[in-house]
């Protein structure tokens, strides 16, 4: 079956079977059906953070569990949401009900259930800041467990769901905790024009949506999976050496003393905007985004990523880490290994 409409890169991969699960029990039985056929199973939301490198020789299970329940205490809103709900629509729905705190995360593609996996974040707010708990089902046993936000081990674009709970568990619902006293987070440069004293949640929401629409390609028009690489975190001494060579390098100092450097900035400094490999290209506006320009294959995108990885490593000594998850014939593969393997074959891109 064709995977094209199930990944925002709009790649033409194939899977043996694709099924939707609208309940926890359906998820479990589809998973066990795949196991009984000795086939790999892949859980997917809206496919906004995956790269199908090849055809997937297994069963894709689309998490389509819906539902929204809202309760409150004197100071907080408690929001319980099915994992298959659309992330942006949730924010819109909450705003309409006067529940705020997620405006910075507006317009991020994907489902609610995908957000905890990589601790989705934008403009100074991350999933970990709004998460109360995550409900998972153990797909082998059919048992449900609740993890507190602390249990989820959230860190930069990372969580327990990429490690200990990466296999054999599915997120079925997410609980959010939002303070009734709304405080705008305007620390990112793009939001600095807003006045903290007068800004409203709606204004912040509209500003974030406006910025994203102006900078990021719409997956409905050109296939992409948002930021392809994570920002890199390096030691201060290392960042200082980069700063000596590139005084304009934007640096973001972390509380642990390390320094975050934007992947897109490094790729741009390597003059790679617009570079192409086959049907894949580095987006002209935003270098951290790779796009499916013209019937790209998964291999085209990995090769382009590999070329970028090598260029940035040679210029800055920084090894970029993909944020997008790579799916091979039998399931998720090690993205950085896939990229490095192709580096040895001297890939050439066109500009």
From candidates 17, 93, 168, 190, binder to ligand NAP by CB under 6 A: 190
Alpha-carbon distance of 117 to 178, in angstroms, equals 20
43 binds ligand NAP (CB under 6 A): no
> 20: buried, middle or exposed (CB in 10 Å: 19+, 13-18, 0-12)?
middle
- Position 264 contacts ligand NAP (CB under 6 A): yes
> Helix, strand, coil: what percent of the chain each, to 5?
30, 30, 40
Cβ-closest position to ligand NAP: 226
> What gap in Å lies between CA 344 and CA 351, rounded to an integer?
21
155 catalytic residue (yes or no): no
Q: Closer to ligand NAP at the Cβ: 82 or 110? A: 110
Active site residue 323: yes
Q: In what order do the strands lie in the sheet with 232-234?
A: 232-234, 259-261, 251-253
Return the range that interacts with ligand NAP (CB under 6 A); candidates 119-127, 142-150, 194-202, 330-338: 119-127
Kindly state whether residue 123 participates in binding ligand NAP, applying the rule CB under 6 A. yes
Buried b (16+ CB within 10 A) or exposed e, 207-233: bbbebbeeebbebeebbbbbbbbbbbb
Joined tokens for residue 205? 């929401």
For residue 275, indicate whether it is catalytic.
no
| Backbone torsions φ then ψ of 102, nearest 5 degrees | -115, 15
Q: Which of 157, 212, 276, 342 is catalytic?
A: 157
Nearest to 162, CA basis, from 50, 36, 4, 28: 50
Kindly state whether residue 262 participates in binding ligand NAP, applying the rule CB under 6 A. yes
d(CA 137, CA 140): 9
Cβ atoms of 140 and 130 within 8 Å: the answer is no
Cβ 188 to ligand NAP shortest distance, Å: 5
* Nearer CB in complex with ligand NAP: 104/137: 104
Site for ligand NAP in 53-82 (CB under 6 A): none
Q: Considering only residues 187, 294, 295, 334, which one is a binding residue for ligand NAP as defined by CB under 6 A?
A: 187
| 216 touches ligand NAP (CB under 6 A) | yes
- 122 contacts ligand NAP (rule: CB under 6 A): yes
Q: Does 199 bind ligand NAP (CB under 6 A)?
A: no
Site for ligand NAP in 159-178 (CB under 6 A): none
Decide: is 231 part of the binding site for ligand NAP (CB under 6 A).
yes
| Strands annotated E in 95-181 | 121-122, 125-126, 131-138, 143-148, 169-179
The site for ligand NAP, by CB under 6 A, has a size of 18
Residues in contact with ligand NAP by CB under 6 A are: 121-123, 187-190, 215-216, 226-227, 231, 252, 260, 262, 264, 288, 323
Q: Which residues are catalytic?
A: 157, 227, 323
């Amino acid at each position: 079956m064709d995977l094209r409409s199930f990944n925002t890169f709009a790649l033409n991969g194939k899977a043996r079977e694709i099924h939707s699960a609208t309940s926890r029990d359906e998820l479990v039985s589809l998973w066990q059906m795949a196991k009984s056929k000795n086939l790999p199973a892949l859980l997917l939301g809206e496919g906004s953070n995956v790269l199908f490198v090849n055809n997937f020789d297994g069963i894709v299970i689309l998490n389509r569990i819906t539902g929204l329940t809202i309760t409150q205490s004197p100071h907080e809103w408690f929001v319980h949401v099915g994992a298959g709900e659309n992330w942006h629509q949730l924010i819109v729905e909450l705003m309409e009900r006067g529940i705020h705190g997620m405006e910075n995360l507006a317009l991020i593609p994907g489902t609610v259930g995908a957000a905890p996996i990589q601790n989705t974040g934008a403009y100074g707010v991350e999933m970990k800041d709004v998460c109360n708990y995550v409900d998972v089902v153990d797909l082998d046993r059919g048992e449900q467990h609740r993890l507190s936000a602390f249990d989820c081990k959230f860190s930069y674009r990372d969580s327990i769901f990429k490690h200990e709970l990466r296999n054999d568990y599915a997120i079925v619902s997410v609980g959010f905790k939002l303070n009734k006293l709304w405080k705008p987070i305007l620390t990112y440069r793009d939001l600095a024009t807003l006045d903290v004293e007068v800004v409203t949640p709606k204004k912040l929401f509209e500003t974030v949506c406006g910025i994203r629409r102006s900078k990021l390609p719409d997956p409905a028009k050109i296939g992409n999976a948002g930021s392809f690489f994570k920002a890199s975190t390096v030691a201060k001494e290392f960042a200082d050496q980069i700063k000596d060579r590139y005084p304009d390098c934007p640096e973001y100092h972390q509380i642990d003393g390390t320094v975050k450097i934007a992947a897109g900035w490094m790729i741009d400094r390597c003059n790679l905007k617009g570079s192409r490999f086959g049907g894949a290209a580095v987006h002209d506006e935003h270098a951290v985004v790779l796009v499916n320009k013209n019937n790209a294959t998964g291999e085209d995108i990995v090769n382009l990523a590999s070329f970028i990885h090598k260029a940035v490593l040679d210029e800055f000594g920084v090894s970029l880490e993909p944020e997008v998850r790579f799916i091979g014939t039998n399931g998720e593969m090690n993205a950085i290994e896939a990229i490095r393997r192709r580096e040895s074959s001297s890939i050439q891109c066109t500009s």
